[in-house]
Structure 1
Amino acid sequence: MSELPVVVVGAGPVGLAAAAHLVERGLRPLVLEAGPRAGAAVAGWHHVRLFSAWLELVDPAARRLLERSGWTAPPADHHPTGAEWAAGYLEPLAEALGEHVRFGARVVGAARRGRDRVVDAGRDDEPLTVHVETTGGEERIPARAVVDASGTWGSPNPLGGDGLPAVGERAAADRIAYRVPDLVAEAERYAGKRTAVAGSGHSALTALVALAGLADRHPGTHVTWLLRRGAVGAAFGGGEADQLPARGALGLRAAAAARAGHVEVVTGFRTGAVEREGERLVLRSQDGRRLDPVDEVVALTGFRPDHSWLSEVRLDLDPVLGAPTRLAPLIDPNVHSCGTVEPHGADELRQPEAGVYVVGMKSYGRAPTFLALTGYEQVRSVVAEIAGDHEGAERVELVLPETGVCGGSGVFDAAEPGSGGCCGGPAVADLTLTAPAARP
């Protein structure tokens, strides 16, 4: 089966990096991307600026491949937007990979040829097969290995506080956004309006800062920030203690917006229902509290992996996070909230189905705070193992910038990852916010 391609699912930054490593190892990758271009998911947040600078956003093998084609690296210390990352790196990388990348190819299944996941007999003698839908019809592609770098962008978490859609959430879908709003293209939707933002991660902070800026220009713009945790705590991040300065600065800007009165904070609010009140929406918490009506809701409560197309291969996934079982303890947000993880690679990412690996954001399951550097090191290790270089696969080195915020075991709300104590930086511990009471 060595003559078969290694199928990589997803032409995002981690999937394309995997392909670059495969080419460098003399192996044949085939990247299958459902979208029309490289970084199709990145296009969904094209207007958002990354915390990482270019230095941390380019995979080493990809850089070597690009430089051979005459590519000039952007300034190492510049923080690109999603659109700049795609145009300046992902699209040129896909072009350099040439025929190894196919667009408009949606992977809908993977299996061992002629065997469902129950059958043992003859399993190791058959290649994997990847089931693909294209505009030209269905295909079955045999593969020596499958690297799942399909991400989680297509599966946002719902607004409901129990992980399922709140009552009325689906019916109000026209007024609920599950992505950071583009306030250049969508200014009219939010300007002069009342908006509720749900979520405690960096996406929520990005939305808060953008909407607060809109409030400066458009009187009547009001933002309510909904936190499931009982107190603001470290929700604004590590501030100056964050080793990614842009990430720390974002939290400080959000804190300043709250101090200035642009952001109203409601804590301990787990959405149970979304009700219509004329042209507006009313959010009701699971404990019965009722917020003042809003015009729009931005639900930024994270993402989750979709393993449905892997239903016929044998997987070993953590029952809580949906991450590979051996990786889960290293990234569990009930224990960890720093930007550091223990070194990990092929050993933690391989699945019981020989030749199947889950990498990139999808490997983190529901855990937050995934960095491109993590994905690049993951695929370097995975490709080394596929190539038979087991020593190289085991030699995993990963040092990530700390967030400046971390909690010890058991010190924070399991339903709200990262709400624990501090890693030793000043963060925004001096910030005092009084949460307004919701209507009974």
Structure 2
Amino acid sequence: MQKPVVAIVGRPNVGKSTLVNRLAVSREAIVHESRGVTRDRSYHDCDWNGREFTLIDTGGIESVHSKDVFAPRIREQALVACDEADAIVFVVDGSVGVTDEDEEVARVVRASKKPVFLVVNKIDNPEAQLDSWNYYSLGVGEPQALSASHGHGTGDLLDEVIAALPADDGYEEPADDGALNVAIIGRPNVGKSSLANRLAKRERFIVADLAGTTRDATDTLISWKDNLIRLVDTAGMRKKTQVHEDVEYYSLVRGLQAMDRADVCLLVVDSTVGVTEQDQKLMGMAVDRGCAIVIVLNKWDLIDTDEKRDRVMASLGQRMSFASWAPSVNISALTGRSTDRVLAAALRVAQNHSQQIKTPQLNNLITQVRESGHTVTSKNRRLKINYGTQTGSKPPVFSFWCNAPDLIDDNYERFLENRLRATFDLEGTPIRLRFRRKDESK
């Protein structure tokens, strides 16, 4: 049996994400005083008195006549959350009272036929008397005063929510579901959410022709050729000097956190622009974090001449020369062209990322390197590598025992890495080299 699901809904800026963070005892949901910070729905684990369930944070539901370009898609995401939920927490702003937008949300939740809990948020003084009659007009039951920012009333709310959830027949979920974590990263408006929707084969992520559509890092599980894959769509990462809003700063942090837990990063590049300096920096971040990487050249259907193709590939070779081992895939997320190749490449590099090369194979390579005579010398000292072994994976770490580790320079490290890559299949994964004196045991 799966965990029960509770959806948090309401109009914009009533404190839904603050409540999610309070109930889930986390800081996962981005909170800001601006309207419309949350757009895609996001999922958060919650536990109350030993009863586990999942919270869904949703974007603010606005009037169908709203001029906000994102409003229809945010509304659609919230409706999906209501359909998925076993119970709904409807949040209104107690400092404002009932608005027309609240009435709009009330119509949505009444149509869901699910248990609904009306929460009047921002009642920060627990001694304050709530004018309940004003909220009965919404027609969704007894209003309950609460302060998400201070925590007043959250315990009573959770008691009532737990009582309304389906009976606990005993469900077991493994701590690790074995899914491959794939983070989709890139600059704003390069097609990350379009690619995520195409791979998930449903409209899971909001897409618009505006930079900054995605703010949170949002997960979805898919199955592809019997492989379980967790896709994480991240906010577009700008240069730090261009991150002006608090919301963008938190989006950047969420994106970096997604990279930290990813096995594979899909770096999405706009082919019509070519590989930029910011793409190069994002690649460097992924390499530093030890992720396997696939470069996804999106909007390839718009590259209609050989000259344009040559220009894109030249920018790829120039900007990504430090990670020439990363494969690239030409796709169109809009039309779906070659998108299956993205998942095939992700699985291939993930296998290389986690592989374990046998010590005899590695020492055969060391013997060949030694016999070739390529080494480092300085003041009558000569480097000699005695043996090596793989001491880590994700990414692969190779440790070499030698007579003089201090002689090893960047040129020799690059030489040895190139020999490793020429001998073993390490496509798509960074590697780490460690050099130790031969009398060191570890």
Q: Flag the structure with higher strand content.
A: 2
Pairwise TM-score range, normalised by the shorter structure: under 0.3
Question: Rg larger in 1 or in 2?
Answer: 2
Higher relative contact order (CA 8 A, sep 6+): 1
The normalised TM-score by structure 1 is 0.24
The normalised TM-score by structure 2 is 0.24
Q: Flag the structure with higher helix content.
A: 2
